Amino acid sequence: MKTKKGILSIVFALVVSLFALQVSAAIQDETSTFKVYGNCDMCKKRIETALLKNPNVKKATWDTKSKMLTVVYDPKMISLDAIHKIVADAGHDTDKVKATDASYKSLMGCCQYQRKS
């Protein structure tokens, strides 16, 4: 009987510890939303894929209608400025960082959005 209680106590302690670790990890992540210029589903795939290649980006969702990107990331490992740069390197202007002319021009015609000066 004591062995069963001991095993159950250990299992319970492990479950509580794992839950605490998950909650702790979730608290450390930040969510940011900002404008990213693009046009279509190919833009969506390009933007999200570029960000998700970085292991410190947990989630990236770009909305084709609103042009808003929501990104969940670990701020201790990657800055929001670095996230903007990843998007710009993929050819898409953000509200903070403009893509280089070369990366913009490498986009397919349907993906070349109207750029601001």
pTM: 0.76
pLDDT digits (tens, 9 = 90+) for 66-115: 999 999 999 999 999 999 999 999 999 999 999 999 999 999 999 999 99
- The Cα 23–Cα 70 span in angstroms is 21
- Which pLDDT score is estimated for 58? 97
- Which pLDDT score is estimated for 9? 65
Identify whether 41 is part of a domain: yes
- Which pLDDT score is estimated for 5? 66
Into how many domains does the chain fold? Answer: 1
Identify whether 72 is part of a domain: yes
Q: Which two tokens stand for residue 97?
A: 């960082």
Write the CATH number for 43: 3.30.70.100
Identify whether 3 is part of a domain: no
- The Cα 8–Cα 2 span in angstroms is 10
Identify whether 103 is part of a domain: yes
Identify whether 98 is part of a domain: yes
pLDDT digits (tens, 9 = 90+) for 39-76: 999 999 999 999 999 999 999 999 999 999 999 999 99
Q: Which domain holds residue 89?
A: 30-111
The answer to whether 94 and 88 have CB atoms below 8 angstroms apart is: yes
Identify whether 66 is part of a domain: yes
What are 59's strand-pairing partners? 72
Helix (H) or strand (E) holding 22: helix 2-28
